[in-house]
Amino acid sequence: MLARFFRGLDEPLRVLILELLLTGEKSVGELVAATGSPQGRVSTHLGCLRWCGYVASRREGRKVYYRLADDRVRALLRIAQELMADHAQALLACGVVSPDEPGASEHPAEGLGEDDEGE
């Protein structure tokens, strides 16, 4: 279930939307303008983020506004940004995490010996 939770963040536009919402509530139109993505694509990703519990929404007339659903989402993003900063070079060089990055390469599973496989 935890892996499924993180799959909700496995899309750059969804992460960008969450980062934009760190500063406060935004309408769909504001998110479309800030991301430069088509409204249908932004709406699809907002639906996913809402369904998975990352964001909450409210309607005001014809506009729908989105905000982070929980302060723990804010904390999760902050921790992820700190970890990313500490390990940026390794993340960019990893052919598993960043297969499209120039210079990224597959790496062997480090620290796993034959004795470790059954644990």
Encoding tokens for residue 88? 């940026």
Tens-of-pLDDT digits for all 119 residues of the chain? 888 888 888 899 999 999 999 999 999 999 999 999 999 999 999 999 999 999 999 999 999 999 999 999 999 999 999 998 998 888 788 777 666 666 656 655 555 444 444 44
For the chain, which domains are there? 2-69 (1.10.10.10), 72-104 (no CATH)
Across 55-78, b (16+ Cβ under 10 Å) vs e yields beeeeeeeeebbebbeeebeebbe
Q: pTM value?
A: 0.77
pLDDT of the residue at 55? 97
Residues forming a β-bridge with 94: 105
